Chains A and B, each alone.
Chain A
Amino acid sequence: MLKKRIIPCLDIKNGRTVKGINFLDIRDAGDPVELAKKYAADGADELVFLDITATEEKRKTLSELVKKVAAEINIPFTVGGGINSLEDAEIVIKSGADKVSLNSSAVKNPQLISDIADQYGSQCVVVAIDTKYVDNKWRVFVSGGKIPTDLLAIDWAKKVAELGAGEILLTSMNNDGTKAGFALDITKQISEAVSIPVIASGGAGTKEHFKEVFQKTKASGGLAASIFHYNEIPIPELKNYLKTQNIPIR
């Protein structure tokens, strides 16, 4: 049976992980490669690296990082953050990333989704959708959630699937950081409306939240950052719990 995926997300700035990390058994907590190895050894099913570097050196540091991760990690990983062109995607994929994640750049230029999918296959293309519930509608936001768009999340999700995206990473901005659980309603709606995997993100605070999102929606995976970084929920413990709840887990 195909398993539900547990996916830690690492925010990267200038080649280092940001946000505090307190694993005692990691030599250098800021080194994304060390952290990625720890997660892979713990049973993470996949990793997402989100680069938030804003300097002109970005491309170079990112491709160096991706090469190092690819050399050390034996599970699939996605790289996102500032992939604005086919060329950006090519650098990251050729450096060894399994998938690239597009967000604002896909809203600005939807053709980019098809261009990357045509070149490297749909399985390489993740579209990240940041959505917020405003005026009774789940709307799409871009630029790290700062700028609202006219798009509704459900429409945009269907559109990106048509354009050739292989997966949707759906983040609810209302839930993100609250530790109150995933946004079940929009995750359910979107995961039922498209025929590509949807990864739920934003709001995970307890093991039960993962159980809930897998039982009440068709999400293929659950993504979180701080609860894993701060070791609030160790991955092996989370996966064991979900197995006891009859969720298909590796």
Chain B
Amino acid sequence: MQSLKYNAGNIASVQNTLTRLGYESLVTDDAVSLRQADKVIFPGVGEASSAMKYLKDRNLDEVIRSLKQPVLGICLGQQLLCAFSEEGNVNCLGIFKTMVKKFPPNDLVPQMGWNSLTKLSGPLFQGINESDDVYFVHSYYAELCKNTVATCDYIVPFSAAMNKDNFYATQFHPEKSGSVGEQILMNFLKL
């Protein structure tokens, strides 16, 4: 089990949750360790263009794209797995062929708090009910696309979770989403 280290976010809380769930983890930006991991979690709160620069400077963009084991991007991690982000107008990793946009200012931005998940599909949401609530903190969102496996509605409907091959991603913070979030993380860990 590995957690990817980069210049963003509250990685400690993801690691705490993994420990509570009985999994060992290592925070690293070492390509060899990442390739050898059973699973890779790519967490983060931060700014997209500076996070992408950090990854590129260390050649981690190529490393992430080439991973074959299950990978979970969380929050900014999900956004960086998309094609392009309006935050700093930066090309991202391109796993999910969708755009990351800023919420229009029709309501409070960032969305901060608990919101419900709908249109759930795939292994991450085994045992999770339609309309269960999870915790979000974000100003940018990934547009709906064919890889969307959970939808949330705030100002606009957006991708609350995505999956393509071995790549999984959530816009919400499963590590801060109570027992529902722990179940989603367990579902990923058991893949």
A residues sitting closer than 8 Å to B (CB atoms) are: 1-3, 5, 40, 45, 70-72, 74-76, 93-96, 98, 121-123, 166-167, 195-197, 220-221, 250
Which of B90-98, B121-129, B171-179 lies at the interface?
B171-179
A94–B16 Cα gap in the complex (Å)? 12
* Beta-carbon contact of B13 and A96 below 8 Å: yes
Residues on the B chain within 8 Å of A76, using CB: 135, 137, 173, 176
Known: A74-B179, A220-B113. 10 other contacts (CB 8 A): A2-B114, A2-B154, A70-B12, A75-B178, A96-B10, A96-B13, A121-B47, A123-B112, A196-B108, A220-B108
Q: Which residues of A contact B111 (CB under 8 A)?
A: 2
Bound: A45/B16 CA distance, A: 19
Docked-complex contact B133 and A250, CB < 8 angstroms: yes
By CB atoms of chain B within 10 A, which of A76, A94, A197, A220 has the most? A76
Docked pose: A52 CA to B86 CA in angstroms:
42
B63 in contact (CB, < 8 A):
no
Is B105 part of the binding interface, using a Cβ–Cβ cutoff of 8 Å? yes
Residue contact B13 to A220, C-beta cutoff 8 Å: no
B10/A74 in contact, CB under 8 A: no
Contacts A40-B178, A71-B16, A74-B175; is A45 near B112 (CB within 8 Å)?
no
Interface residue SS majority, chain B: mixed
Q: Which one of A5, A40, A71, A72 contacts B113 once the chains associate, using CB atoms below 8 Å?
A: A5
Contact of A197 among B105, B113, B175, B179 (CB under 8 A): B113
Chain A contact residues: over half helix, strand or loop, or mixed?
loop
B residues whose Cβ falls under 8 Å from a Cβ of A: 10, 12-13, 16-17, 19-20, 45-47, 105, 108-116, 133, 135, 137, 153-154, 173, 175-179, 181-182
Q: How far is the CB of A198 from chain B (nearest CB, A)?
A: 9
Contact between chains at A96 and B16 (CB < 8 Å): yes
A180 to B182, CA, bound (A): 38
B119 to chain A, nearest CB (A): 15
Q: Are A3 and B10 in contact (CB under 8 A)?
A: no
* A124 to B105 alpha-carbon distance, docked (Å): 20
Cross-chain pairs A/B with CB under 8 angstroms, 30 sampled: A1-B115, A2-B113, A2-B114, A2-B154, A3-B113, A3-B114, A3-B133, A5-B114, A70-B13, A71-B16, A71-B19, A72-B20, A74-B178, A74-B182, A75-B135, A75-B178, A76-B173, A76-B176, A93-B10, A96-B13, A98-B10, A121-B46, A123-B112, A166-B110, A167-B112, A195-B105, A197-B113, A220-B108, A220-B113, A221-B113
A94 to B135, CA, bound (A): 20
Among A5, A96, A166, which residue has its beta carbon within 8 angstroms of that of B12?
Answer: A96
**Minimum CB distance partner of A44 in chain B:** B178
